[in-house]
Structure 1
């Protein structure tokens, strides 16, 4: 009697399930994702170099500081430039005095020429002397400006807006022209990853990329050079933190697409460690044992792949608590 009641309850449960929007099973395309590690990197990594050699007298930044383009980072001082500038100023003053005397001589020569006391040849020589001294004064002033500009180039400036990554020198160190004082990251942050070359043909720019924290990015560049069997790619992720560069992040890439039988997660009933799906058959609704596989997230639709137990064309019935307690199954 109890068996009859149990079978009757199961039949009623499956019959009720059959009246609640059945689903005809058909293969649908499913994307296979490959998990790889990517590194957080800056789009631009620019060295701030010393333009002159000398002593690093001031170091104004440290690792991790945010800087703006043109912001002073350090100062390099060369004491010889000060001595050169002092020598040029003294030379300029001497030439200026000679020029003033030559102009006075020229003025007197012009007056004497009017009186017929001197000759035009002597006057031309005085004019030439004035012109030579004026040219020398201009040259010395230009040399002094070069030295002043060289002193100004001792100020090391930030090449771009960004964050200071490294400062390989310390205040008081002697540096050469062209030596790196600091490295600045700029241009934004992206993910750089290296994946096996067998996946290169299945990837293209613009493909969606998923991160473990649920955020999504976009593949923006595939580099044509394969190194050590690896394809290098860049991924752009909106809002990616730049606090730590070279940090490793787990991402998932779409590497293939295949056909699979997918059912809503809600139609699967678990009982006794086995999974069942209610299926409509000519003999009536039955619970069929299945082997589930890939389970999508709620954002992807909450579907579950069925590896075995169902075939295309099966009519799937929604699961119910009563159906889960049924005793008969296929």
Structure 2
């Protein structure tokens, strides 16, 4: 094996035309982006709680985690029995006032007839007219109070505040809730990735930079949409916008390559590398000869629509690589 390797290295010099062909590649350093591997967490753009507007008992719960809802859908109903009793009391009060109004109207008609015949006074007629107006206003006030109570009862319906998916339902039927308590949380408005990056890379982050993301269906590219100025726990928070995130799992973690700087590197087309007995070779032109150089190859990247392999050692800027 050692003799074979030595023979291959000794045979690396091959004769050939010294003319530099147009297809040959003169190596020049390329600027490449250094990345930091982190995890991003899937977050909804809007996370809106659907809250109870009145206190009472949850008598109906029509959603569970994972359900899709639209704005205005009824998620649950809260009932306060006291409101029903108050409405009954107002209805009874209205019945009494309406009966009083009927009696006042009858007395007022009789007083008008007696006044025409001269057997009663105008003062009595004025008293009955005032009593009728007061009773009417009392009826209006009672009806307004009943409308208020009916509106409070209607507010027992918990409505979806936005289109989206139900992510949490912290209550069950027959639970007792207070006004303002969360009945369900709706995630909507699309998804984004939230990153937590070590603060030593904060100065290298650039808003709008492309972010490579590994999705289950394949690699994707997102955009660094927002960098938050506050550093907490030695980490910078940033948001990445990307299409095609799976809405089924809120909080899922995805591997992300964040650009944190640049460096110079030498790249050759991947097809120009030849591997024999575990050693990589690249053909270059030296004066009037073709020479196979032993190189140490790095990662292969897709740059400008072409697969290029980084050469860590073995070549230098200005070398002419034979591509055909």
Q: Determine if contact 1:17/1:318 at 8 Å carries over to the other structure.
A: no
Q: Determine if contact 1:164/1:183 at 8 Å carries over to the other structure.
A: yes
Change (3 A) 1:17 1:254: farther
Q: Show the counterpart of 2:4.
A: none
Give the Cα–Cα distance (whole angstroms) in 1 for the partners of residues 208 and 105 of structure 2: 76
Give the Cα–Cα distance (whole angstroms) in 1 for the partners of residues 127 and 258 of structure 2: 85
Q: Determine if contact 1:275/1:290 at 8 Å carries over to the other structure.
A: yes
Superposed displacement of residue 177, structure 1: 1.4
Secondary structure at the aligned position of 1:199 is classed as helix
Q: Show the counterpart of 1:223.
A: 228
1:141-180 aligned within 5 A: 141-180=143-182
Secondary structure at the aligned position of 1:70 is classed as coil
Give the Cα–Cα distance (whole angstroms) in 1 for the partners of residues 36 and 305 of structure 2: 16
Question: What TM-score comes out, normalization by structure 2 length?
Answer: 0.90
1:110-129 aligned within 5 A: 110-129=112-131
| Larger strand proportion of the pair | 2
Q: Determine if contact 2:65/2:169 at 8 Å carries over to the other structure.
A: yes
Residue 242 in structure 1 maps to residue 247 in structure 2: yes
Give the Cα–Cα distance (whole angstroms) in 2 for the partners of residues 129 and 283 of structure 1: 123
Question: What TM-score comes out, normalization by structure 1 length?
Answer: 0.89
Superposed displacement of residue 200, structure 1: 2.1
Change (3 A) 1:298 1:201: closer
The correspondence for 1:285, drawn from 285, 290, 299, is 290
Q: Show the counterpart of 1:191.
A: 193
Superposed displacement of residue 153, structure 1: 0.7
Tell me how large the CA RMSD over aligned residues is: 2.2
- Gapped regions of structure 1 (runs ≥ 5): 1-6, 320-330
Give the Cα–Cα distance (whole angstroms) in 2 for the partners of residues 146 and 264 of structure 1: 77
Superposed displacement of residue 279, structure 1: 1.2
Residue 11 in structure 1 maps to residue 14 in structure 2: yes
Q: Determine if contact 2:18/2:288 at 8 Å carries over to the other structure.
A: no
Give the Cα–Cα distance (whole angstroms) in 1 for the partners of residues 194 and 11 of structure 2: 61
Secondary structure at the aligned position of 1:205 is classed as coil
Q: Determine if contact 1:278/1:285 at 8 Å carries over to the other structure.
A: yes
1:10-89 aligned within 5 A: 11=14, 15=17, 19=21, 21-89=23-91
